[in-house]
Every structure is written in C-alpha cells, then in structure tokens.
C-alpha cells in the first residue's frame, strides 16, 4: 500500500535533482549565469545544494520500499 507513494516521491525528486544538477553543470561550464542578476558563484552553489538535497530525498523515498 505504501510502496506507490514511496516510488512516486523517489522518481520525482530524483528526476528533478538530477536534471537540475545537469542543467547547473552545463550553465557553469558554458560560463553562463545560473540565475539572472545574482552572483554567479552563489547561484551555482545554491543550485548545486538544492539539487543534492533533492537527490537525497529521492534516495530516501526509494529506501522506503
């Protein structure tokens, strides 16, 4: 009964975290801003932190199976 929500949470957060991490990496590699009007280092660091946290939540969701 509870495996459905755990799978959903794991997939959603893992996809979001992974795609945010890839997008941030591409933007940093191209030397383009991650967020408009913000310090490039701070915005890349914050986006990397958020992507890591969402990947951790995704793994936590999968561990609930």
**Mean pLDDT of the 12-39 span:** 94
**Mean pLDDT of the 7-33 span:** 94
pTM: 0.85
Length of the chain counted residue by residue: 65
**Mean pLDDT of the 32-49 span:** 94
CA dist 23 → 4, 47, 55 (Å): 28, 9, 14
């Amino acid at each position: 009964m509870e495996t459905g929500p755990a799978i959903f949470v794991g997939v959603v957060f893992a996809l979001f975290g992974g795609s945010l991490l890839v997008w941030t990496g591409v933007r940093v590699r191209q030397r383009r801003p991650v967020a408009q009007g913000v310090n490039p280092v701070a915005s890349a660091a914050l986006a990397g932190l958020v992507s890591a946290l969402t990947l951790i939540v995704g793994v936590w969701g999968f561990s609930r199976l």
